[in-house]
Amino acid sequence: MLSKTVLIIGGNAAGLSAASQVKKIQPGWKVIVYEKGPYISYAGCGMPYFLQGIVSEFEGLLELTPETVVKDRKIELNLHHEVKSVNPVKKEITVKNGGTVETIAFDYLLLATGALPSRRGIEVKHPFSRRVFTLKSLDDMLEISALMEEQKPRRCGVIGGGYIAVEMLEAFQARGLETHLVHRRDQLANTFEPEISAMILEKMKEEGIALDLNRDVLEVAEAGEEIIVRTDKGDLIFDFVLIATGVDPNTAFLQDSGIELGIKGSVVVNKQLQTNFPYIYAAGDCAQTTSIITGQPAYVPLAPKANKEGFIAGANIAGGNEEFAGIGETAITKFADMGIARTGLTQEAAVKSSFDAVKYTFSTSNRPRYYPGGEELYCVCVINRDDGRFLGAQMAGPLDGVKRIDVFALLIQQKMTVGETFKLDLAYAPPFSPVYDPVILAARLGRKHI
C-alpha cells in the first residue's frame, strides 16, 4: 500500500489511541497529531483525586510522554497547534501555531477534539477573576490547586449534579473547605435514579456538605474578594466556585465544514467511526454514538468509549474493518466511602424510549450476615415487563460491591432476561459475597415483576 498521511486533531485518549494503532498497523505511514494545549495523554479522570490529595504526583497523571510518542511510536507531535478549520472536500485543515497559520493536506483525518465544559446558560461576570472555574484540562486543575494552596480559601460552591460535581464535592470537603452543592433540582442529575440520588445526598449531608438544592443559578459574579452566586432563591457567597454542569462536544470549528453534526453538535459517525466523508473519522467525546439498548443516537462522553473508539478508528484508518458496538452508559464513582454505579437506562429514560419499564429496589449485604465486614448494598433494577429483559441497574454501597455493575452491564448488552440471569453460575465464598449474589438476587426478585 502507498504511504498515506493521517492527521489527528487532539492528543489525548481518543487521538493518541488512534495514532498508536495506525502506526502499529502501517509503520510506513505518516501520522501527525495536532494538540492545541501543552499536554498529551493525560488522565483527566484522575484530576479530582489530585485535587483531593490522594494522587500526589502531577507527573503520575501523564500517561505517555511526548518522547515516547515521538521516539518510540514514531508519531509526529505538534503541541500548541490549534486546528481552526477542516475542508473535507479539498482534504485540508488549517492549523494555528502562535501567529502562524498553515494549511495541511491529508489522506485520512481523525477528529478527536473531546468536549468542553458547558455552563448551561449560567452567566459568569468577570470570567477572568480565576476564582470561578470549570475542570476539564490539567491547566484548570493546576489553577484550582494553586488557589487552594496560595489563597487558603474557606468556602467553596460546586454548581452541578453530575459525577464530576460529586467527585469534586468529596475533594473539597476532604481538603477541609466549607463545601456547598448548588443545584437546580432537588435531586442530582437525572442519570441517577431518584433513590440512588437520595442516598448520595443523605451521605453528603452526613459528611457535612451544605445542600443548596432547587436553586436556579442566574449569574456568578465577583464582588471584592468574594464570589456571589445569584440564584432564584437568593445569593450565596463563596471564596471560589466550580461550575460542573456537564460538557458539550468540542466541534464549533466544524460548524460550516459540511461534516454532519448530531446531538449537542457531536460528530455523527457510523459503526466504523466514519463521518459522512468516509476518509474522515471521529472518536471520543466529540463523537455521537448509539445506545446499545435503544439503538438510538446517544451522546455519552466517557473515557472507555474514547479509548476504544480511538483504537477502532485507528485500526480502520489503517485498513481494518472493526465496529464500535455503541454505549450502555455504564459509569462508576464514589462519594466518601460510598460507591455509586450505574448502567443502562433509568426507568424514566426507558419509559421515554417506549419500554414498559418496571423498577424495583432491594438492599442486601455484600457478605453473608455472619461474616465480618459485610455492608449494605442498595440496588435499583429496571426491567422490561414484556420479556423480562434487564434495561438498567444502579447501585450504592461499598466500593468493591458496586463494581458488580459490570455484570449488569454485560447482561444488559447481551439482552439477557431475569430468567436467563438467574441461571448464571457466579462465584461464591463468604469473604466475597452472600450465597445469593446481588446479581442473582436481582434476577430472582425481577421474576415477580413480569
Ligand X SMILES: Cc1cc2nc3c(=O)[nH]c(=O)nc-3n(C[C@H](O)[C@H](O)[C@H](O)COP(=O)(O)OP(=O)(O)OC[C@H]3O[C@@H](n4cnc5c(N)ncnc54)[C@H](O)[C@@H]3O)c2cc1C
d(C-alpha 450, C-alpha 446), whole Å: 7
State how beta strands 30-34 and 76-78 pair.
Answer: parallel
Interface residue with ligand X, options 7, 8, 10, 192 (CB under 6 A): 10
Smallest distance, Å, CB 370 to ligand X?
Answer: 35
Of residues 230 and 308, the one with the C-beta less far from ligand X: 308
38 binds ligand X (CB under 6 A): no
Of residues 45 and 218, the one with the C-beta less far from ligand X: 45
180 near 158, Cβ under 8 Å?
Answer: yes
Smallest distance, Å, CB 51 to ligand X?
Answer: 9
82 binds ligand X (CB under 6 A): yes
365: Cβ contacts below 8 Å, ≥ 6 apart: 374, 375, 376, 377, 434
200 binds ligand X (CB under 6 A): no
9 binds ligand X (CB under 6 A): yes
Of residues 304 and 373, the one with the C-beta less far from ligand X: 304
429: Cβ contacts below 8 Å, ≥ 6 apart: none
Of residues 223 and 252, the one with the C-beta less far from ligand X: 252
Of residues 17 and 347, the one with the C-beta less far from ligand X: 17
Q: Which residue's entry shows cell 497529531?
A: 33
Which residues ranging from 263 to 302 are in contact with ligand X (CB under 6 A)?
284-285, 301-302
Q: Which stretch binds ligand X (CB under 6 A): 110-118, 193-201, 208-216, 361-369?
A: 110-118
Of residues 82 and 420, the one with the C-beta less far from ligand X: 82
283 near 267, Cβ under 8 Å?
Answer: no
374 binds ligand X (CB under 6 A): no
Interface residue with ligand X, options 7, 112, 132, 269 (CB under 6 A): 112
Q: Which of 45, 156, 379, 381 is catalytic?
A: 45
Of residues 135 and 317, the one with the C-beta less far from ligand X: 135
Interface residue with ligand X, options 20, 250, 275, 394 (CB under 6 A): 250
In the chain, the amino acid numbered 431 is P
381 binds ligand X (CB under 6 A): no
Smallest distance, Å, CB 18 to ligand X?
Answer: 9
Interface residue with ligand X, options 21, 113, 197, 289 (CB under 6 A): 113
In the chain, the amino acid numbered 4 is K
Smallest distance, Å, CB 330 to ligand X?
Answer: 9
User: Does 381 participate in catalysis according to the annotation?
Assistant: no
Smallest distance, Å, CB 217 to ligand X?
Answer: 20
Alpha carbon separation from 53 to 6, 158, 167 (Å, rounded)? 39, 18, 13
d(C-alpha 86, C-alpha 9), whole Å: 10
Interface residue with ligand X, options 5, 25, 30, 45 (CB under 6 A): 45
327 near 289, Cβ under 8 Å?
Answer: yes
Binding mask 296-325 toward ligand X (x if CB under 6 A, else -) reads -----xxxx-x-------------------
172 binds ligand X (CB under 6 A): no
- The closest of 234, 252, 224, 280 to 90, measured between CA atoms, is 280
Interface residue with ligand X, options 7, 13, 158, 209 (CB under 6 A): 13
48 binds ligand X (CB under 6 A): yes
Binding site for ligand X (CB under 6 A): 9-15, 34-37, 44-45, 47-48, 82-83, 112-115, 135-136, 164, 250, 253, 284-285, 301-304, 306
Q: Which residues are catalytic?
A: 45
